Amino acid sequence: MTADGSRGAKTAQARAERRRLLAKVQRVVVKVGSAVLTDDGAGLDARAIGRIGRDISEVIARGTQVILVSSGAIAAGRSRLGLSERPRTIPQKQAAAAVGQSALIQAWERTFARHGRRVGQILLTADDLANRKRFLNARHTLMTLLRLGVIPVINENDTVAVDEIKFGDNDHLSALVTNLIQADLLLILTDTEGLHERDPRRIRKARLVPLVHEITPQIERAAEGEGGAVGTGGMASKIAAARKTTHSGVLCIVAGGRRRRCLPRILEGESIGTLFLPREARLTSRKHWIAFTREPRGTLRVDAGAVAALKERGKSLLPSGITEIVGRFGVGDLVRIMDPQGREFARGLVEYPADELVRIKGRKTSEIERTLGYKSTDEVVHRDDLVLL
């Protein structure tokens, strides 16, 4: 076989594999960025919203469940308020979101009503998903909406968000929602055709990367760059979202949101955008929540023996392996776990508060009760509450 023939056979094989994987998708999270939904910040683009609404309605009619994560509230509010530049401060963003969110949900309601479909608005903050009880409540609500045939339209609750509780961008939010409702695919629709080897905004002939088996440092370097004037996330944030998604064994695709019938064609297996394959060693939903949803409150540095016990033997973290405690945290809080060189290699939920860990670090489990006056458990971080990064 010639070289051209060999490449053609590999391409055909890759397309067949793509069709096979996407044929299994029954529930998809579609994240649409502000750059797709707005006319360069000059308000919502009714044609773009109509096109995407038509695509979503088509795949729902085929039996696929769709959850929509929609940006655009701040951009819509900016237009309504007559602001010439994107809001910079938190109060400015909150004001623009308060004005723009109603316009955004009304636009989706009108669009889906044309196809006989209803929508339900859900606004979330990072704190909603970091709290396990609220995380599960949000899941129950979303699953009920899907059973009722309602399309959930999710956005960050920018009207109340401050620095401590912001997701940062809806790429991150969409990855968390994908885990929340255990979707089969996260589709991120943006204003570029996918991940390129170089920044396509600066290099016109930059080549598209159609398939990513593993997110390597080279892939991350290719994604470096700033977001546009309208949105908050560049390609780097989309790669971060893909990393979170593929860790839970879920497909992720980043594609251009202005293509005609983009979503139906992707689910039919057409080679559009960049497909990120899931990791074989996948995290459970709960461990994904521990790794990516909660914000660490402190740090535990451990010795080489503890590193080996956690990484190689799948053990829990005991006080004898801890060499240093940093931060103020309580029982059940998330902490980083670092090796002797200061590199984070795991995260977990602690069984003892920081002030008590300072007293028992480096000690044997048999000494815990004598030192503290009580013992709730031998483990500082149980292996069921620990995630290796």
Phi, psi of 114 (to 5 degrees): -60, -25
pLDDT of the residue at 165:
42
Contact criterion met (CB below 8 Å) for 371 and 360: yes
Tell the CATH topology of 3-287.
Answer: Carbamate kinase (3.40.1160)
Helices (H), 26-169: 34-37, 46-61, 73-81, 90-113, 126-130, 132-147
Task: Tell me which H or E stretch contains 327.
Answer: strand 322-327
Q: Domain residue spans in the chain?
A: 3-287, 296-388
370: exposed, middle or buried (C-beta count within 10 Å: 0-12, 13-18, 19+)?
Answer: exposed
How far is residue 142's CA from residue 153's CA, in Å, rounded to a whole number? 10
pLDDT per residue as tens, the chain (389 positions): 454 555 556 667 777 888 888 988 999 999 998 889 987 656 899 999 999 999 999 999 999 999 999 988 888 888 888 887 777 787 888 888 889 999 999 999 999 999 999 999 999 887 888 888 899 999 999 999 999 999 999 998 866 655 544 565 789 899 999 999 999 999 999 988 888 887 777 777 778 888 898 888 878 777 765 344 444 458 888 999 999 899 888 999 999 998 889 999 999 999 999 999 987 767 788 888 888 888 899 999 999 999 999 999 999 999 999 999 999 999 999 999 999 999 999 999 999 999 999 999 999 999 999 999 999 899 999 998 999 87
Q: For 296-388, CATH number?
A: 2.30.130.10
Could you tell me which of 329, 318, 331, 328 has the C-alpha nearest to residue 367? 318
Residue 61: predicted pLDDT: 96
Question: What's the pLDDT score for residue 12?
Answer: 72
Q: Identify the pLDDT of residue 167.
A: 60
